[in-house]
């Protein structure tokens, strides 16, 4: 339905469900990773395909020149 993305700070989006329900997801992070275990809080079906905001994610490593 809607999405706002910032490559450095995260993403916010809303998804429409078949039963007229709206799922709102807000993943705001710092330094290219999320400091809590979001995978325990948000069902994988609501995350973007391939989403990885763990401390060792490839995007973060590239941005920090590691």
* 3-state DSSP assignment of residue 64: coil
Whether residue 60 contacts residue 48, with contact meaning beta carbons closer than 8 Å, is answered with no
pLDDT in tens, 20-52: 889 888 888 776 677 778 888 888 888 888 888
- Residue among 29, 4, 39, 46 at smallest CA distance from 13: 4
**Percent of the chain beyond pLDDT 70?**
95
Structure tokens at 46: 């609501």
Cα separation of the two ends of the chain = 36
Q: Does residue 1 surpass a pLDDT of 80?
A: no
Q: Where are the domains of the chain?
A: 2-63
């Amino acid at each position: 339905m809607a999405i706002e993305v910032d490559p450095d700070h995260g993403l916010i989006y809303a998804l429409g469900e078949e039963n007229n329900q709206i799922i709102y997801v807000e993943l705001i992070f710092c330094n290219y990773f999320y400091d809590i275990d979001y995978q325990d809080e948000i069902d994988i079906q609501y995350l973007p395909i391939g989403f990885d905001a763990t401390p060792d994610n490839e995007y973060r490593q590239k941005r920090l020149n590691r």
